[in-house]
Amino acid sequence: MKKIICGGSLLVCLSCGPPKPEIPSLTPQTASELLRYNNNAANWLTTVKKRDPSCEYHLELPDQHAHPTQIDLERIMWCNSAPSPSEFNASVSFEYDQAAQHWVIKRFSS
């Protein structure tokens, strides 16, 4: 009887495999750094600031308890502590690069 129980336990453990790696949350600091070092995002911010120096990127990240692999943010440009006029608007998509094990910008549009 002991052989059957041990054999069954071993079979269950082998079929589970290693745990799936957990995707870390995208922090506001990481997202800001990615925007700062993305040429398109940096150039857009420079262009907008020439017309309205109060404008900055404003990132409101969603809840990430489900560990998403992609986060899409619309209307990330704010001027004078409010959403920017539509001509200054920008959006960004962040994606977790499984191979490199870090977040990257998948798409930036202005």
Concatenating the DSSP letter of every residue in 27-90 gives PHHHHHHHHHT-HHHHHHHHHHHHH-TT-EE---PPP-TT--SEEEE---EEETTEEPPGGG--
Question: What's residue 18's pLDDT?
Answer: 61
Whether the model clears a pTM of 0.85, i.e. scores above it, the answer is: no
Question: What tokens does 9 get?
Answer: 């336990």
pLDDT digits (tens, 9 = 90+) for 28-79: 999 999 999 999 999 999 999 999 999 999 999 999 999 999 999 999 999 9
Per the prediction, the chain carries an average pLDDT of 87
In the predicted structure, residue 85 carries a pLDDT above the cut 80: yes
Helix axes 28-36, 39-51, angle to 10 degrees: 80
Rg of the chain taking only CA atoms, in angstroms: 22
